[in-house]
Amino acid sequence: MKSVSIFLSLLLFSLLFVQCKKEEISKVNEVSVETVKYAKGFSIVNHNGYSIVTVKNPWPKATKTYTYILKEKNGIIPDSLKQNPIINVPINTIVVTSTTHIPSLEMLDVEDKLIGFPNLDYISSEKVRELIDANKVKELGNNQSLNTEILIDLQPDVIIGYGIDGNNPTLDNLQKSGLKVMLNGDWNEETPLGKAEWIKFFGVLFGKQKKAEELFSKIEKDYLKTIEIAKLATKQPTILAGDMFEDKWYLPKGTSWGSLMLKQANANYLWQETTGTGSLSLSFETVFEKAKNADIWITSGQFSTLKEMTDANSHYAQFDAFKNKNVYSFTRKKGKKGGILYYELAPNRPDIVLKDLVKILHPELLVGYEPFFFEKIK
C-alpha cells in the first residue's frame, strides 16, 4: 500500500513537471503580433529569436507577397522558413533608395547607419547632409540603375528598395550578388497614418520596435486630436489644388491621401467625389469652370511667388483664390541642395501636415500656431 502511495506521488509529480515544461515551452514559443493599425502593405510577427516581416503591396496591384526573416543573435529559424531571405538584426549599416525612408532613420536616431543613397542631392535632412558632407554616405547613381560595384564594395547589411512595378533588374542582380534586399511600399499606402506607420518597418530592423511604436503612437495621437479640433469649424472652405504641367492640370484624386487629409481638415475639396489614389489630369477649362470661385488654392509646389505663376500661365490670375491672394505652397522649408522637405518628411509626419492645413483653413482654431511646411505665396 505504501509503495502504491509513493508511486502515485511520483506519477503526480511527473505530470506536474511535464505540464510545467509544456507551459514553459509554450511561453518561449509564444507569438506576439505587433499591432499594425493603419498600414495595409506590411505586417510584423515577433517570435522568440526572430521576426517575420511580410510586405504585401510594394506597388499598385502587386500580386506577390514578400516575406523576410529577421534573425536575432542565437535565434533559431524553423526549417519551414529558411527558403525566405534571412537578415541578421539589429543591422549596423543600411542603404535606402527613397527620401521618404530618411525621416524614419532620423527619428530612430540611426541616421549614422546610412552608408549609401541614389542621387544624394535629393536629401534635405540636415543631419544626413552633414554625413554626406563628411563623405560617410556614398552616391549610388539612380534608383533604377544603382551602382552595383559601389554597393558590393560597401556590403550593407540590407538595401531597402521600392518598385513602381515588379520589374527592377538592378535589385535582382544585387540579390544574386549575395546582398540582402527588402522592398518597402510606404508610398503605396492610401491613408496618412498608414504611410507614417512604416516607421515600425525600420524599427524592427534596428532592434528599436518599442521606440518606433512610441513615436508612431505620438503621431497618431496628435493627428487624431487635430481632426477633432477641425470638427469645431463653422465653415468648410472650398479648395482648389495643383496647377498646370505642360498642357494638363494635375490634382489629387478623391481617395488619395492628400484628398483625405483635406477632408479631415474640414475642407470642401472640389474633386473629393472622384475615386483613385493618384492624380487627375484635366484641361485648364475643366478646372476653371469648377474652381474659379474656390476660397483657397494649394499649389503643387513648383512656384514661389504669384508673379512666377502668372509668368507661367497668365490665366491663373482669373481665379478668385489668386485675386484674393489665398494661394499656398508647401515649399517653406528646403534642403541645402534645394530639395523640398515636404516630399521627404510629410509622409512620416501627417500630424504636422494636418495641423498646417487646419491653420490655413480655420486659423481661429489654432491661435499662435505657425505652419511648418506651408506658406502663403506672395
Note the pLDDT of residue 22.
42
Please check whether the two domains, 32-220 and 231-376, share a CATH topology. Answer: yes
Q: What does the pLDDT average to over 222-235?
A: 98
Q: Specify the higher pLDDT residue, 172 or 321.
A: 321
User: Which range has the worst mean pLDDT, 79-93, 134-148, 161-175?
Assistant: 161-175
Helix (H, G, I), strand (E, B) or coil at 61: coil
In words, the CATH class of domain 231-376 is alpha beta
Task: Report d(CA 172, CA 278) in Å as an integer.
Answer: 27
pLDDT at 352 over 80: yes
**For residue 99, what is the DSSP state?**
G
Q: What is the pLDDT of residues 240-299, one digit of tens each?
A: 999 999 899 999 999 999 999 999 999 999 999 999 888 999 999 999 999 999 999 999
Can you name the residues that pair with 245 across neighbouring β-strands?
A: 248
Q: What does the pLDDT average to over 335-349?
A: 92
What does the buried/exposed string (b/e) look like for 75-103 if buried means 16 or more CB atoms within 10 Å of the residue's CB?
A: beeeeeeeeeeebbbebeebbbbbbbbbb
Domain boundaries, the chain: 32-220, 231-376
Instruction: Report the candidate in 170, 169, 168, 208 with the shortest Cα–Cα distance to residue 185.
Output: 168
Q: What is the pLDDT of residues 187-211, one digit of tens each?
A: 889 899 999 999 999 999 999 999 9
Task: Report d(CA 367, CA 56) in Å as an integer.
Answer: 42
Measured CA to CA in angstroms, residue 32 lies from 43, 53, 66, 202 at distances of 12, 13, 20, 18
Note the pLDDT of residue 339.
86
- List helix spans (H) across 136-254: 148-154, 169-176, 192-196, 199-205, 209-230
Predicted confidence band of residue 307 (pLDDT cuts 50, 70, 90): very high
Radius of gyration of the chain (CA): 26
Q: Which CATH number fits domain 32-220: 3.40.1260.10, 3.30.360.10, 3.40.50.1980, 3.40.920.10?
A: 3.40.50.1980
**Angle, CA 13 vertex, CA 8 and CA 17 arms, to 5°:** 150
Q: What is the pLDDT of residues 22-65, one digit of tens each?
A: 444 444 444 555 578 999 999 999 999 999 999 998 888 888 89
For the CA atoms of 52, 70, 150, 118, the dihedral, rounded to the nearest 10 degrees, stands at: 40
pLDDT at 116 over 90: yes
Instruction: Report the candidate in 326, 294, 301, 291 with the shortest Cα–Cα distance to residue 245.
Output: 301
Cα separation of the two ends of the chain: 101
pLDDT at 353 over 90: yes
Max intra-chain CA distance, the chain: 108
One-letter amino acid identity for 250? Y
Note the pLDDT of residue 145.
81
For the chain, give the percent of residues with pLDDT over 70.
Answer: 90
Are the beta carbons of 29 and 41 closer than 8 angstroms?
A: no
Task: Report d(CA 68, CA 91) in Å as an integer.
Answer: 14
Note the pLDDT of residue 6.
44
Are the beta carbons of 189 and 257 closer than 8 angstroms?
A: yes
pLDDT at 236 over 60: yes
The distance from CA 67 to its chain's CA centroid, rounded to whole angstroms, is 19
pTM: 0.88
Task: Report d(CA 163, CA 161) in Å as an integer.
Answer: 7
Name residue, grid cell 549599416. Answer: 93
What mean pLDDT is reported for the chain? 89
